[in-house]
A and B are shown apart, each in its own frame.
Chain A
């Protein structure tokens, strides 16, 4: 994915939940863990810290996936989208409210096809850092994929960045001064 723009190295921004996102603690914990994971990677991709304010660089939403709010597709599971024009410093990361979500222990429904909150959120946050979907099967070892598998299929949980994700972050942003992952909060700023 190349929008002809990327975050400045070491950018520190914010993320928030809007009123559509469930207040369920395990859902927010899982999503926050995903944001923190990519924020504090050993690369100088942007860091997003939580804010309870009414505006942020990244707003997490929970909207119906059978609407056209994400690229004209129906039935989407997750989505990351930004503004029409650069600078692309405002994003919306959306999980589909009509899907079943889990953190591996709790879930929002009892159906067999469940999507992992942390995995899909990490996928979408990868797009915020300008990672593209890896359509080459050789790159299947990547969180940023077009088609996540549903729980309890194998590899249902990909809650950490993989080799190809990291390689792309390294290319785009370079190594963080904190070179021994995982970098602690604030150490990479």
Chain B
């Protein structure tokens, strides 16, 4: 009589089950959500938003998109958070999301001081799915067109770069918000119908 090893028995039993599950339409893997599940951002109108940003010490600039990353994690490495980082999330001490890193160059300043450091600065756009991990799109940006390389945008710039990685890595970002500019020169804001022309934005004094 032929003798079966445990591995062979497992294969004999498991493979048909897997095939049967596929044939029957196995349930989809459960998504794991990452990121603030209820972040409230505020946008009333462009004048309000501008005044609010300036009062918080942020600068405003017209920028040009130079790079849009593939979907990645907001860790320094871009990879999924490790066990220690997940423990930090579960203590409320860290936050990780999936999204894209948008690199821009300053075209001209509108309000406030020019950013310090390198000419190219980065914006983190949360939202996306990698495997079974998912970050919902941002409430503030989800209805706006995705930034495209070469396109212009209106950006609020942080007074100093901030580390987006809540754990052991480092991912520095400089841009707090990014509103695309249409080909016709209209700033696309979360408030539909606003007619903000990029060319008419007042340039800040040197």
Binding site for B on A (CB under 8 A): 1, 3-4, 59, 66-85, 90, 92, 98, 111, 113, 115, 120, 123-124, 126-127, 133, 135, 144-150, 153
Q: Does B78 contact A (CB under 8 A)?
A: no
Tell me which of A4, A79, A113 contacts B30 (CB under 8 A): A4
Binding site for A on B (CB under 8 A): 30-44, 48, 52-53, 55-56, 74, 81, 86, 89-90, 92, 95, 97, 99, 124, 126, 135-136, 138-140, 142-143, 156, 158, 162-164, 166, 176-177, 190
Q: Known contacts A84-B32, A84-B86, A146-B140; is A71 also within 8 Å of B39 by CB?
A: yes
By the criterion CB–CB under 8 Å, are A77 and B42 in contact? yes
By the criterion CB–CB under 8 Å, are B40 and A77 in contact? yes
By the criterion CB–CB under 8 Å, are A148 and B40 in contact? yes
By the criterion CB–CB under 8 Å, are B44 and A150 in contact? yes
Chain A residues contacting B99 (CB-CB under 8 Å) are 72
Most chain B CB atoms below 10 A, which of A1, A70, A111:
A70
Provide the bound-state CA to CA distance between A107 and B40, in Å: 20
Chain B residues contacting A76 (CB-CB under 8 Å) are 36, 39-41
Provide the bound-state CA to CA distance between A181 and B96, in Å: 39
Chain A residues contacting B33 (CB-CB under 8 Å) are 3
Chain A residues contacting B158 (CB-CB under 8 Å) are 66, 74
By the criterion CB–CB under 8 Å, are B41 and A72 in contact? no
